[in-house]
Structure 1
């Protein structure tokens, strides 16, 4: 069985080359059925890659005896830590070209061991790549370069405990290596929850969410992990940094903000005090169909500017609605959901439905509060949302190229931005691949002043050239986003794949300050080289 990158205690094997669990990937016949939806794909799927077929060199470095028990050179573990889960990673693994495989994988169990590993790596010129859960889709957990003598993948999933719970302040001190389900299971007996559910929830860690400023469960209000942070503890080569637990502070620039989104380039987040909430007892949801996407956009904008604050407010364009089986008649579909720990939410759903119907929405049969099942479109969307990464990998086995990217912009630019992506990125994908491309869009998060569109581009590739086609699509998408002053990423992080767009987006004085922080905190330049800055 493939080695699990999730650390000890994981009973279900993770796929070393693809998304999620090894036993959840589509069978060959299912892959072929998927491929039939895209003209030009292969007649039969590529075989599941085997670690035994990879040319894995012997480690280029040996840890000192005091650290030997923390590291492994096992080939399957190393292969599982070589890449993230972007399409580029999947197709490289399928083609037997996974890139630089780390020399060693370390699994420390406390801050002292993290410090010792960083000290040794700094002395020996070993690059250290904080791995999180390995679910990065932007090249954030791999080494690209040749300036370090060896590469160490740092896996904190052995540091996965909820260390302390403050029920008075309703917060908890949690180790950064806790995977989503592990974290929630420890909070459940206390009736509390972090309630941060990104699509990668099962396969990503608290530290990864913090280091990438991940977006999660809430489509309005508290959308980013930033909103739940009370304080951070970070181990840097220059020493540990622990911020005070405070509900708010105006004392200068926030020390937490320096490390939130730093992607392991400035230090290793090992603990955080996180704001919690009571588990929701009341829920209600519904879906609403729109004949026109522009009508739907206006309805969503009205919801975002109201005081209703839905937990879920996801708008699917006709292609996305068809893909998720939420609609089959060319409609756009808005999925609405409300939840509360303190009282019924049916009235809020009623008000939201009245609002969207005034903008041309159709339907919207409500569910009852508490545990009533959602309507068919809501259920279909939820199922497709969790299954989609596995289907992408199935398409990749058929030689298809599938790129997903997200952004955010103010409402005045949203309609033109979406049109430009559909037209220009779709044309670039078709030109690069030589086959018709499909571009779908959904809104994942909405704000009073703007929204976060999420795009999926799918096209048949040419055997062996899939990664080059993906590069062309990524470049076209980045150019359009920059032209419309839309962020290069709303919640997927920068990594290495988004670096060109990020370099254009950030102000130069801030880049200077970031480089100076890197010089001081990581003087040997060992932490995740190439992420955020050179």
Structure 2
């Protein structure tokens, strides 16, 4: 069954310097009110940055006439493709210290367009940086250094269609530049869904999810985009690669596993066959509160090691719960959610609540009744989750240090890791800023053998030194993670920011293998230089 063409939403301007929609950014009065809750921040917000302040130079290179219709040198487009959306990116833009602006932005529409651009770039010595929705928070879409004559940002968002749907196998062939909302909109008439909802869903693409092994909606079982991937089509400087559609295979190392998480260093993902689901009809959610975070962690582990498999199983420590408006009495809050397209799930929710109660958790009865305290906590968390990046940008304008980092570790090391992060990063932040810091923690994904803690750092900064301070705190955090053998990232990718820690985490033999693959597939070294491997 052929898919339909992507419908274009009403025009709405994206913020070139910050998260999301330009019209959704907080106003000056709101920024001041928010900053007032964090002593030591600026009296007034930093002004919004202007593209003109970047002094965008003329492109250092020109493409052949046969490719000219695919590229633009428009200063605003180039500025918007300069960096991702991490705190350090936002603060650099606010302080007028953006990185190297791409010489050109390319908008290919076919695999042949991409092959032509890669061939030209290899001959011209131009770096090609793949760009999906631009929501990278690890420096994955910016070029650093001066080893290449020019930089081209390869924006795939014109390749945005669901090309084919196999309802019998519950799968669809989808172009990699399709943004989350457009993807779901094209599947909806068929009663199907990919149901992969990262926080960046509105501003990220299928190709970006695949290239970064993104984590999404599900807290158990299908936690990463890998779990939904049936086959990939990739364009490399060496040629095209397309894996077979298979439900599973034991035929040697998987070609898809080489590309998943490769962050555009080995090739450009252009299409993927993705496993779909029927839209869930039955849903049930509730919250459970704990006076002891230790008890909450034990409850979380019991649920993760059961066969209940909740779709949502998110634990907020007291600080994170207060920040989200899910609790105001110092309690930790466990958000539970179950869903199914085929059968009621209330009994599974009830079993999960019983497990939580066995560890001194408290749930209101009935847990999912509209207007109940439990339902209110779930709604508060969901609203805060979607709004948080805009609040971060507002606090950044007030000169605050406000950023997150995440990891994954086995259950036996989880409590010690959380304590070490809170203590060591908190002390480092206090020393660097002269102000007390808040270090919150939430658990976003759980497995039978471990969990993924996600930390929020809040502190007043020093004017002009915010990025340097965050880099210092991130170094301290990375050392804590390394010492506890916790991964540098569970789902945020490596990019350039995590590269030093990734070099320490991966085995040397695998690094040599990856380097050999890079040299073979990208002989001119033009694909996203500086990410994953040199």
If the length of structure 2 is used for normalisation, what is the TM-score?
0.97
User: What is the match of residue 42 of structure 1?
Assistant: 42
1:280-295 aligned within 5 A = 280-295=280-295
Cα separation, 2, equivalents of 1:202 and 1:373: 29
Shift of 1:139: 0.3
Cα separation, 2, equivalents of 1:361 and 1:286: 12
Cα separation, 2, equivalents of 1:394 and 1:337: 30
Cα separation, 2, equivalents of 1:375 and 1:207: 35
Q: Do the aligned residues in 2 keep the contact of 1:181 with 1:201 (CA within 8 Å)?
A: yes
Cα separation, 2, equivalents of 1:305 and 1:173: 34
Cα separation, 2, equivalents of 1:184 and 1:8: 13
Cα separation, 1, equivalents of 2:461 and 2:148: 34
1:37-76 aligned within 5 A = 37-76=37-76
Q: Which moved more, 1:356-365 or 1:422-431?
A: 356-365
Cα separation, 1, equivalents of 2:54 and 2:100: 11
Cα separation, 1, equivalents of 2:434 and 2:375: 40
Structure 1 vs Structure 2 CA RMSD: 1.6
Question: What do the CA deviations read for 1:379-417 (whole angstroms, capped 9, x no partner)?
Answer: 000000000000000000000011200000000000000
1:15-414 aligned within 5 A = 15-366=15-366, 375-414=375-414
Shift of 1:432: 1.5
Cα separation, 1, equivalents of 2:418 and 2:135: 26
Cα separation, 1, equivalents of 2:533 and 2:434: 35
Cα separation, 2, equivalents of 1:533 and 1:134: 21
Q: Do the aligned residues in 2 keep the contact of 1:7 with 1:158 (CA within 8 Å)?
A: no
Runs of 5+ consecutive residues of structure 1 not aligned to the other structure: 1-5
Sort the Cα spacing of 1:234 and 1:374 in 2 relative to 1 into closer, same or farther, 3 A.
farther
Q: Which moved more, 1:81-90 or 1:28-37?
A: 28-37
Report runs of 4+ in structure 1 exceeding 3 Å deviation: 6-10, 364-374
Cα separation, 2, equivalents of 1:155 and 1:381: 33
Shift of 1:301: 0.2
Q: Do the aligned residues in 1 keep the contact of 2:286 with 2:368 (CA within 8 Å)?
A: no
If the length of structure 1 is used for normalisation, what is the TM-score?
0.97
Sort the Cα spacing of 1:375 and 1:101 in 2 relative to 1 into closer, same or farther, 3 A.
same
Cα separation, 1, equivalents of 2:266 and 2:227: 21
Question: What do the CA deviations read for 1:132-174 (whole angstroms, capped 9, x no partner)?
Answer: 1000000000000101010000000000100000011110000
Shift of 1:364: 3.7
The SS at the match of 2:412 is coil
Sort the Cα spacing of 1:391 and 1:145 in 2 relative to 1 into closer, same or farther, 3 A.
same
Q: Do the aligned residues in 1 keep the contact of 2:364 with 2:372 (CA within 8 Å)?
A: no
User: What is the match of residue 3 of structure 1?
Assistant: none
Question: What do the CA deviations read for 1:415-472 (whole angstroms, capped 9, x no partner)?
Answer: 0000000000111111112211110000000000000000000111111111100100
Cα separation, 1, equivalents of 2:89 and 2:365: 41
Q: Do the aligned residues in 2 keep the contact of 1:165 with 1:173 (CA within 8 Å)?
A: yes
Q: Do the aligned residues in 2 keep the contact of 1:282 with 1:369 (CA within 8 Å)?
A: no
The SS at the match of 1:375 is helix
Question: What do the CA deviations read for 1:74-115 (whole angstroms, capped 9, x no partner)?
Answer: 000000000000001000000111110000000000100010
Shift of 1:53: 2.0
Cα separation, 2, equivalents of 1:380 and 1:186: 29
Runs of 5+ consecutive residues of structure 2 not aligned to the other structure: 1-5
Q: Do the aligned residues in 1 keep the contact of 2:363 with 2:374 (CA within 8 Å)?
A: no
Cα separation, 2, equivalents of 1:441 and 1:372: 25
Question: What do the CA deviations read for 1:277-312 (whole angstroms, capped 9, x no partner)?
Answer: 000001000001000000000000000011111000
Q: Do the aligned residues in 2 keep the contact of 1:176 with 1:271 (CA within 8 Å)?
A: yes
Q: Do the aligned residues in 2 keep the contact of 1:283 with 1:369 (CA within 8 Å)?
A: no
1:442-453 aligned within 5 A = 442-453=442-453
Question: What do the CA deviations read for 1:315-340 (whole angstroms, capped 9, x no partner)?
Answer: 00000000000000000000000000
Sort the Cα spacing of 1:531 and 1:8 in 2 relative to 1 into closer, same or farther, 3 A.
farther
Shift of 1:12: 1.2
Shift of 1:366: 4.0
How many residue pairs align between the two structures?
529
Q: Do the aligned residues in 2 keep the contact of 1:409 with 1:485 (CA within 8 Å)?
A: yes
User: What is the match of residue 3 of structure 2?
Assistant: none
Shift of 1:372: 11
The SS at the match of 1:421 is helix
Cα separation, 1, equivalents of 2:343 and 2:373: 18
Sort the Cα spacing of 1:501 and 1:100 in 2 relative to 1 into closer, same or farther, 3 A.
same
Cα separation, 2, equivalents of 1:337 and 1:523: 48
Sort the Cα spacing of 1:348 and 1:359 in 2 relative to 1 into closer, same or farther, 3 A.
same
Q: Do the aligned residues in 1 keep the contact of 2:364 with 2:374 (CA within 8 Å)?
A: no
Cα separation, 2, equivalents of 1:352 and 1:371: 21
Cα separation, 2, equivalents of 1:46 and 1:347: 51
The SS at the match of 2:525 is coil
Q: Do the aligned residues in 2 keep the contact of 1:140 with 1:263 (CA within 8 Å)?
A: yes
Cα separation, 1, equivalents of 2:508 and 2:42: 46
